Chains A and B, each alone.
Chain A
Amino acid sequence: RKEVEQDPGPFNVPEGATVAFNCTYSNSASQSFFWYRQDCRKEPKLLMSVYSSGNEDGRFTAQLNRASQYISLLIRDSKLSDSATYLCVVDDSWGKFQFGAGTQVVVTP
């Protein structure tokens, strides 16, 4: 069992719609949480860091639920350019980054 689990994809989303998906982590001592976006054959790029109860950046909102040990990512008003794989990354507090398998989002016209 992976230490970081993500919702399986792909999530097919009509343009303009809202999509949300989760990531669960097993290490309760984890301190830092991140969402990365990865386009095909490209490097993962930091989308958002999630440090406390969550944060918002434009159309993207990340939430952290420590009690249930999960983080979520919500994308509002989806754009075609939001199509990508979203990787959940957790710093396990020992400086080791644990990766989820990624959630594929496909935004359709």
Chain B
Amino acid sequence: AAGVIQSPRHLIKEKRETATLKCYPIPRHDTVYWYQQGPGQDPQFLISFYEKMQSDKGSIPDRFSAQQFSDYHSELNMSSLELGDSALYFCASSFDRGSGANVLTFGAGSRLTVL
């Protein structure tokens, strides 16, 4: 079965550079979530989209932005990168609440290292 696809898997950037992460959710999943996970921490919710509209916002820095496109893929744009942005970034998608259980399925993650 198709899973959540994230790219790139690994990314190395310098401070103050920009980075873009991409996420392709499971087909027909209507909600996409972005999470940031630092070493030894649980995933921290950044932002989510439902049917291409932002549905919720968590602890996403102002330097970050995200959007969901017409084909339902999502991109997380990070600017003015800081050392503290080094983390695993997970994208997850979930099923339509009206169609069944709302279960999160995660992508393999994008590991960002800021030098």
Residues of A within 8 A of B (CB): 32, 34, 36, 41-46, 49, 51, 87, 89, 91, 95-97, 99-102
Contact = CB atoms under 8 A, between A and B. Distances in A.
Contacts of B102: 32, 91, 95
Interface of B: 31, 33, 41-43, 45, 48, 50, 55-56, 88, 90, 94, 97, 101-109, 111
Given A34-B103, A96-B56, A43 B108 contact: yes
A51 B100 CA distance: 12
A44 B43 contact: yes
Contacts of A95: 31, 50, 55-56, 94, 97, 102
A43 to B, nearest CB: 4
Q: Which of B43, B50, B97, B111 has the most CB of A within 10 A?
A: B43
Main secondary structure of the interface of B (DSSP, over half): strand
A49 B101 contact: yes
Nearest to A97: B104
A46 B42 contact: no
A36 B111 CA distance: 20
Nearest to A4: B42
Given A34-B103, A43-B90, A44-B106, 8 more contacts: A34-B104, A36-B104, A42-B109, A49-B101, A91-B102, A95-B56, A95-B94, A97-B104
Given A32-B101, A49-B103, A99 B108 contact: no
Contact of A43 (B55, B97, B103, B109): B109
A35 B56 CA distance: 23
Contacts of A96: 45, 48, 56
A45 B42 contact: no
